[in-house]
């Protein structure tokens, strides 16, 4: 059995694709990788919020799935839009890496310093304004290596990135600070790789992929986070955040919320429950009742 894997072409995306291929191969399955360029890869002169939040990094891969050119698409889970087309589903989530955002620089510094930080994330920009208002922010697009090169040539002093990508690309030596997830809570899905497929994918093939790649505990947490994201209709351009973790008795805690674009309003909800989907929708409902609806409306008017 051969599994055809679709992926973006950046070094990090290819790391993820080869990681999945290795898991499949270890389970006795054959695999081949196909590189697909997405809208988010092509348009680098505009911020993600100006391109649009739906399918910026996934649409072209989904087209290949629909045309049966590939069997699965491999994504950073945080890049997958809140609501999938009815034809698709996420069938596996790999074991999660540390979820923290990290400050990366070739200089010794921290967010307490008067520095310029590069990021393309609306969430990170809003959180920097909320918790580190003295920091200057510049938009920074491109793959990880491109952004690091821009930083080293002086476009900014530091970058704000997900630990998982920095670690996988072996840039740990540039990490100057790990941000506390209770305050600087990551994007939904940060730190794990998601596998997307057509719902009509051959049942035996689908089950083989799940058994080889899916981490059940990560999946439970991601189901809660994505349930929240779907309920608030969040995306790349909306600064919502969410992180779920589980306890030994499978009780789940979801810490999620939203921050206004100017950073002046941060609404955070933390709730415990044992049903991941219901946990996500309950947190979303609480958020909407606690002025979250008004913040979302303001953000959408601005963007």
pLDDT tens-digit readout, 252-301: 999 999 999 999 999 999 999 999 999 999 999 999 999 999 999 999 88
> Given this chain, do its domains 2-96+192-214 and 230-302 carry the same CATH topology?
no
Per-residue pLDDT tens digits for 90-148: 999 999 999 999 999 999 999 999 999 999 899 999 999 999 999 999 999 889 999 99
30-35/175-178 β-pairing: unpaired
Structure confidence at residue 39 (pLDDT): 64
**φ, ψ dihedrals at 52, nearest 5°:** 120, 145
Q: For residues 160 and 111, is the Cβ–Cβ distance under 8 A?
A: no
CA distance 3 to 234: 31
DSSP assigned state of 55? S
Structure confidence at residue 40 (pLDDT): 53
Which fold would CATH assign to domain 2-96+192-214?
A: D-Maltodextrin-Binding Protein; domain 2 (3.40.190)
Q: What is the overall mean pLDDT for the chain?
A: 92
Burial class for 113, CB neighbours closer than 10 Å (0-12, 13-18, 19+): middle
Q: 54-63, 174-183, 203-212, 235-244: which range is least confident on average?
A: 54-63
The structural domains of the chain, with segments of one domain joined by +, span 2-96+192-214, 101-178, 230-302
Q: Where are the alpha helices (DSSP H) in 132-197?
A: 144-152, 163-168
Q: For residues 269 and 288, is the Cβ–Cβ distance under 8 A?
A: no
Looking at residues 173-202, what average pLDDT do you find? Answer: 97
CATH 3.30.160.40 fits 230-302, yes or no: yes
Q: For residues 83 and 233, is the Cβ–Cβ distance under 8 A?
A: yes
CA distance 2 to 9: 21
Among the CATH numbers 3.40.190.10, 3.40.50.150, 3.50.50.60, 3.30.70.3280, which is that of 101-178? Answer: 3.40.190.10
CA angle 42, 168, 192 (to 5 degrees): 80
Return the SS3 of 99: coil
Q: What are the catalytic residues?
A: 78-79, 123-124, 141, 147, 236
Q: For residues 265 and 291, is the Cβ–Cβ distance under 8 A?
A: yes
């Amino acid at each position: 059995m051969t599994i055809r894997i679709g992926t973006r072409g950046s070094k990090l995306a290819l790391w993820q694709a080869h990681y999945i291929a290795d898991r499949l191969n270890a389970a006795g399955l054959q695999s081949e990788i196909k590189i697909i360029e997405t809208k988010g890869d092509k348009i680098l002169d505009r911020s993600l919020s100006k391109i649009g939040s739906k399918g910026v990094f996934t649409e072209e891969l989904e087209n290949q799935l629909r045309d049966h050119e590939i069997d699965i698409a491999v994504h950073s889970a945080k890049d997958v839009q809140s609501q999938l087309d009815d034809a698709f589903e996420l069938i596996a989530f790999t074991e999660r890496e540390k979820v923290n955002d990290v400050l990366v620089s070739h200089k010794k510094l921290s967010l307490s310093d008067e520095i310029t930080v590069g990021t393309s994330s609306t969430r990170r920009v809003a959180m920097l304004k909320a918790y580190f208002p003295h920091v200057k922010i510049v938009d920074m697009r491109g793959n990880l290596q491109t952004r690091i090169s821009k930083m080293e040539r002086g476009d900014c002093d530091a970058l704000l990135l997900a630990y998982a990508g920095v670690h996988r690309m072996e840039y740990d030596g540039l990490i100057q600070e790990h941000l506390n997830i209770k305050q600087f809570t990551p994007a939904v899905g940060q730190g794990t790789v998601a596998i997307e497929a057509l719902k009509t994918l051959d049942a035996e093939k689908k089950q083989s992929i799940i058994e080889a790649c899916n981490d059940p505990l990560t999946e439970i947490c991601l189901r809660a986070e994505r349930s929240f994201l779907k309920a608030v209709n969040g995306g790349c351009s909306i600064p919502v955040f969410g992180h779920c973790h589980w306890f030994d008795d499978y009780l789940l805690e979801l810490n999620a919320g939203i921050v206004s674009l100017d950073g002046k309003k941060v609404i955070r909800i933390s709730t415990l429950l044992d049903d991941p989907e219901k946990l996500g929708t309950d947190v979303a409902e609480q958020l909407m009742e606690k002025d979250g609806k008004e913040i979302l409306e303001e953000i959408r008017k601005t963007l």
